[in-house]
Every structure is written in C-alpha cells, then in structure tokens.
C-alpha cells in the first residue's frame, strides 16, 4: 500500500486531498498544527486504520516513522487576513517548513509536491498568467510575506530537484473554493456567502473591477492528483480560467442566495492584484486536465454547505 504524508491536512484543501488519497487506497498520514485548520474537517477519517494524524508544526524538525512514497506540502495560511495576522509563521512555513519536508523527501526517497500559488505572479503585468511569467511582487508590501515565502518555496524545491535529485512537483494554485472553507477566513467567497446568510450587505473592496477566476475544489484536487502522478517537474497552473470582476461576482451571489442585500464599497487592500486568470494550456496538454465544474454549480454546492450552519455558528463567525 502506498504511503503519503499530507501537511496542512486539517485545512480546506488538505482535508479534501486526504479524502481523495484515502479513496484511492493509500495509507494517509495527515500533519497539521491547527493554526488555521480545524480537526472537524478530518474527524470522519479518524476511525480508519489507513489514516494517522500528527499534531505538529512543520517549521520544527519533521519525523515520520516508516516508509513514505509521496509528500504533499500544503501547510500554510492561505487567506490574506490569516497571513497578515501571522506574517512570521507564514514566512517560516514556506521556507523552514518546506526545507524540512524536502529533507524528509530526500531521506525517504519520496516524491514531493508543494503547493505554490498564483500569488507568485503578484499584481500581474501579463494576462492571462502563463507559467513562464516571472511575476510582479512587492517584496516589502503586506502580501509579500506570503508571496515571497511561496517564491522561495519554489526555488528551494527546484534546488533539491537539481542538486539532490529529489522528485519534485510544483502546483501553482489559483483561487479555489468549496465546502470546508472557514466562514470567517476573509476570502471573498465565504465572506460574501456569510454576509448573505446573515442578512448583511456585501462588502466589495475597491470599485470591484479587479478580477479573479474561481476553481471548484474537486477540479483542483483532480489536477493535483494528476500532477503528482505525472513525470512533469516544472511549475504548472491549476485553476479555472472563467474570469469575473468582484462586483459582478457580488451580484451573482445576491441572485444565487436570493437575498436582497445591497453592495457596499470598502477600501481596496494594499497590493490587491487587479486581475488574475490562469493560462491552463500546460495542464490541458501535459496532464489532460481541465475544470469540469462551472461557477454556478460549484457555488450552489458551496452555498448549500454553508446553509447547514446554524444561526449561532453564523453569528459566531461574524468578524
Ligand atoms: P487552510 O488555511 O484552510 O489550510 C492550511 C492548513 O495548514 C491549516 O490546517 C493550518 O493549520 C496548517 N498549517 C499552517 N501552518 C502550519 C505549520 N507551521 N505546521 C503545520 N500545519 C500548518 O488553507 P488552504 O486554502 O487549504 O490552503 C492550503 C495550501 O494551498 C496552502 O499552502 C496555500 O498556500 C495553498 N493555496 C491555496 C489556495 C486556495 O485558493 N485555497 C490558492 C493558492 C494556494
Ligand atoms: N474581496 C472583496 N470583499 C471581501 C473579501 C475580498 O471585495 O469581503 C476582494 C479582494 O479585495 C480581492 C478578491 O475579493 O480583490 C479576492 O479576495 P480573496 O481574499 O478571496 O483572495 P485573493 O485576493 O488572495 O485572490
């Protein structure tokens, strides 16, 4: 039986990846320090013999007994409000944490896939973003702690590939959404859905002309799965190229949730990228992957997930 270590296992993407690899018959070892994650996301797996969980901070030395075939390094705060609150931990998990996991991959002879991000393109001057684009990041801006940690993560991963012959994979994930996001994590989808469910106005930052392209979690997991099993070691974009402005997206949410909320405008956060859309030619040609779940279907599933929250939980999540 193949054994896989998944860091960030109690988080949004990590927990869905645990489910996927359990379903594929793997022995899954989850690791998380729960700084932004929640054990509720994986509690259904605790009864399985094929699942183990380590409560551990990956910036400290990582030890896992036994053999390992694969490592997925997904531990890192991912939402702007999270990494602005814990900037040093964000830099450390992308740098020291990645170093520890690459070292573990080397001693175990395991293949490692690291979760990079569209944020490495910063506020992009090339549109849509191809993997060849070097990016436009403000190193000392508030988002720099995340963007530069992820850029360093890619560099050290390539260095381990080149100098230590470690089998590495790099996925550049574009905005992904779905069940198990935290209602209060500040990202636009849980923010808007939470506001609609609580009967509050929707907060659009700036004039809402900035764009994003949202990928449903099942599509993202499929892309990551194919990349891990492929023989392609260079970075690859996984995301849904269906781009929309944040203002139009707010209007869509109002329609979807059949709420009669107003849209209110707040200041655009510093260095908030003005446009973002993946060029997925490489994922299509190399992995035979493309997204299948459209925004209306994916948003409906996500909305139904959040609708199950009780009124008390919804109010508790207010920020
Ligand atoms: P998340 O916050 O839900 O999950 C991250 C998990 O990592 C949490 O469970 C957290 O407790 C854990 N973690 C953080 N620091 C840790 C540490 N030092 N040691 C152990 N565990 C630690 O976020 P997510 O959306 O699931 O993102 C997962 C990964 O995917 C991140 O690396 C993120 O950068 C990347 N990513 C996500 C998106 C997206 O749209 N969701 C986009 C680009 C990249
Ligand atoms: N955003 C917004 N209102 C909110 C939360 C976010 O208008 O309540 C905007 C944010 O400024 C950004 C976009 O939505 O332009 C996506 O933000 P998110 O935090 O989800 O992801 P990221 O900026 O990392 O792509």
Q: What is the pLDDT of residue 313?
A: 76
Is the distance from the beta carbon of residue 175 to the nearest atom of ligand 2 less than 6 Å?
A: yes
Cut 0.80: pTM above it: yes
Q: Is the pLDDT of residue 319 over 60?
A: no
What DSSP string runs through 23-74? HTT-EEEEEE--SS--GGGTGGGTT-TTEEEEE--TTS-----S--SEEEE-
146 burial type by CB count under 10 A (0-12 exposed, 13-18 middle, 19+ buried): buried
CA angle 75, 286, 121 (to 5 degrees): 50
pLDDT by residue (tens digit) across 32-83?
999 999 999 999 999 999 999 999 999 999 999 999 999 999 999 999 999 9
Q: Note the residue count of the chain.
A: 319
How much is the ipTM here?
0.98
Pocket of ligand 1 (CB under 6 A): 7-8, 10-14, 32-37, 57-59, 74-78, 93, 97, 115, 117, 173, 175-176
* Distance between CA atoms of residues 307 and 257, nearest Å: 10
In the predicted structure, residue 317 carries a pLDDT above the cut 80: no
CA–centroid distance, 77 to ligand 1, in Å, is 5
Strands laid side by side in the 111-117 sheet: 51-55, 27-32, 3-7, 70-73, 111-117, 168-173, 236-238
Distance CA 71, CA 84 (A): 27
Average pLDDT over residues 204-209: 98
| Tens digit of each residue's pLDDT (9 = 90 or more) over 167-187 | 999 999 999 999 999 999 999
Q: Kindly give the distance from the C-alpha atom of residue 76 to the centroid of ligand 1, in angstroms, as a whole number.
A: 4
The residue whose CA has the least distance to atom 34 of ligand 1 is 78
Q: Token pair of 68, please?
A: 């390992």
Expressed in angstroms and rounded, the spacing between residue 161 Cα and the centre of ligand 2 is 34
Residue of minimum CA distance from atom 10 in ligand 2: 205
Closest-CA residue, ligand 1 atom 6, reads 8
Q: Determine the distance separating the centroid of ligand 1 and the alpha carbon of 117, expressed in angstroms.
A: 11
Which ligand lies nearest the alpha carbon of 189? 2
Across the range 292-303, mean pLDDT stands at 97
Pick from 13, 154, 215 the residue to mutate for probing ligand 1's pocket: most ligand atoms within 8 Å of its CB: 13
Which candidate, 228, 188, 202, places its Cα nearest to that of 78? 188
Q: Which residues are catalytic?
A: 146
The pLDDT, as a whole number, for residue 318 is 55
């Amino acid at each position: 039986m193949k054994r896989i270590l998944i860091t960030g296992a109690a988080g949004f993407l990590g927990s869905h990846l645990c489910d996927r690899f359990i379903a594929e018959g793997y022995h899954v070892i989850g690791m998380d320090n729960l700084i932004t994650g929640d054990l509720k996301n994986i509690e259904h797996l605790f009864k399985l013999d094929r699942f183990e969980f380590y409560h551990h901070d990956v910036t400290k030395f990582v030890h896992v007994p036994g053999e390992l075939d694969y490592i997925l390094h997904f531990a890192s705060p991912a939402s702007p409000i999270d990494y602005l609150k814990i900037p040093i931990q964000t830099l450390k998990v992308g740098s020291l944490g990645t170093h520890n996991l690459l070292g573990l991959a080397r001693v175990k002879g395991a293949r490692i896939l690291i979760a990079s991000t569209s944020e490495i393109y910063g506020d992009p001057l090339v549109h849509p973003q191809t993997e060849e684009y070097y990016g436009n990041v403000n190193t000392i801006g508030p988002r720099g702690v995340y963007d530069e940690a992820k850029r360093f993560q890619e560099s050290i991963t390539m260095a381990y590939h080149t100098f230590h012959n470690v089998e590495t994979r790099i996925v550049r994930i574009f905005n992904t959404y779905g069940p198990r996001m935290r209602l209060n994590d500040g990202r636009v989808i849980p923010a808007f859905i939470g506001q609609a469910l609580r009967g509050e106005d929707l907060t659009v930052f700036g004039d809402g002309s900035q764009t994003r392209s949202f990928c449903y979690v099942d599509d993202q997991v499929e892309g990551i799965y194919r990349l891990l099993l492929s023989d392609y070691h260079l970075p690859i974009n996984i995301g849904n190229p269906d781009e929309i402005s944040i203002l139009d997206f707010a209007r869509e949410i109002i329609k979807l949730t059949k709420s009669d909320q107003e849209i209110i405008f707040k200041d655009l956060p510093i260095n908030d990228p003005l446009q973002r859309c993946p060029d997925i030619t490489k994922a299509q040609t190399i992995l035979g992957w493309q997204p299948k779940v459209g925004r209306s279907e994916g948003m409906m599933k996500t909305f139904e997930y959040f609708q199950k929250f009780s009124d008390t939980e919804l109010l508790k999540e207010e920020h």
